[in-house]
A = this chain, B = another copy of it.
Amino acid sequence: MARSTARVSRRDPGTDEPVRQRLLGEATRLFAERGFERTSVQEIVAAVGVTKGAMYHYFDSKDDLLKEIYGRVLRLQMERLTMFADAEGPVAERLHAAAMDVVITSVENLDDTKIFFLSMHQLAPEVQKTVRAERRRYHERFRDLVIEGQRTGVFSDAVPAEMVVDFFFGSVHHLGTWYNPDGPLSGAEVGRHFADLLLASLRP
């Protein structure tokens, strides 16, 4: 029940009013916990302590809430990937760091991770398209690291880079299904293992 997205409110201090952020926060928590369709607007506003009208003052619709959540996730993930991919150092190190980080971030915002693949259907077709396009760009950025390593002979090219990326991100996205924040493994530990597996599978 930890509000996984608490860090988001730091995003734009000054502009973000409390109520809007609280609505987004509770919506995230509830969508992750019981799914978009099984969460009623009534439940969200009750959790925040306002009325429906307030929600419709800040958001166009229930779908709009979801859209905002997707936007937030996409923005955050791309930011972090760029940071690691553009760093200095050997490609193997950069890939390992980026891989570890996406696991850690996914675990820190586990609600977002759950929602991302559970609720794609609920987005309006055109929004879905935007999300997928943004997602593709993200994958491509990651894939380029693999290709870079393959070209320089650091990584094996037995399996196409594209597929390596799909393989890896499938694992990451499914963290929402099984990872338990109260369990024995920290996000960093899982991240290290996942990154190790990725790098191991790429050894020439």
Contact = CB atoms under 8 A, between A and B. Distances in A.
A34 B117 contact: no
Contact of A170 (B121, B175, B193, B200): B175
Contacts of A198: 201
A190 B175 CA distance: 22
Interface string A123-158: 000000000000000000000000000000000101
**How extensive is the interface on chain A, given as a class?**
35 or more
Chain A contact surface mostly: helix
Interface stretch (A64-72, A89-97, A159-167): A159-167
Interface string A189-204: 0100110111011110
B38 A158 contact: no
A61 B198 CA distance: 44
A173 B166 CA distance: 11
A172 interface: yes
Contacts of A168: 171
B203 A158 contact: no
B117 A159 contact: no
A158 B121 contact: no
A60 interface: no
Nearest to A177: B117
24 contacts: A34-B121, A35-B122, A37-B37, A37-B38, A38-B122, A117-B117, A117-B174, A118-B118, A158-B200, A159-B197, A163-B190, A164-B197, A166-B171, A166-B174, A167-B193, A170-B171, A170-B175, A170-B177, A173-B174, A174-B174, A198-B201, A200-B200, A200-B201, A200-B202
Interface of A: 34-35, 37-38, 117-118, 121-122, 156, 158-160, 163-164, 166-175, 177-178, 190, 193-194, 196-198, 200-203
Instruction: Please give me the 9 A-B residue pairs with the lowest Cβ-Cβ distance, nearest first.
Output: A170-B174, A170-B171, A37-B37, A201-B201, A35-B121, A200-B201, A197-B201, A167-B171, A159-B193
